[in-house]
Amino acid sequence: MVARSSIWETDPIGPEQPDYLNAVVVLDTVVGPRHLLERCRDIEKAAGRERRERWGPRPIDLDLLLYGDAVIVGDGISVPHPRMTERRFVLAPLAEAWPSVEIPGAGLVEELLTAVADQEAVRTGLKW
């Protein structure tokens, strides 16, 4: 692990459900993006996640937001994550963990964060 953000709390997107806890981890890996995403899904399944309803309640949700400066689309993978620039709950922890990152095709994370300033995301005091 290279860096990690604080844990952030935000309102959920989708059906009525409890607030979410969000965080970003920056990794240095030789594992390819497709295999890394598969491993994330394996972890979700082991934690009890069942994919029933889009944006529905779930015990864990692991997303592959970026893979360096790669742009990958197809066969169940989309990197950069297609909606990450619209969501403060992604950008705020990402900016904290990796403030200099440029999101391919979108711009610097710090600049993108200003466009979602109206969305609430609160840094919690929770520890990893």
Q: Known catalytic residues? A: 49, 58, 61, 63
State the Cα–Cα distance between residues 89 and 85, nearest whole angstrom: 10
Q: What is the token pair recorded at 76?
A: 């169940």
DSSP run (H or E) holding 54: none
The residue assigned the tokens 């922890």 is 93
Strand partners, 3: 26
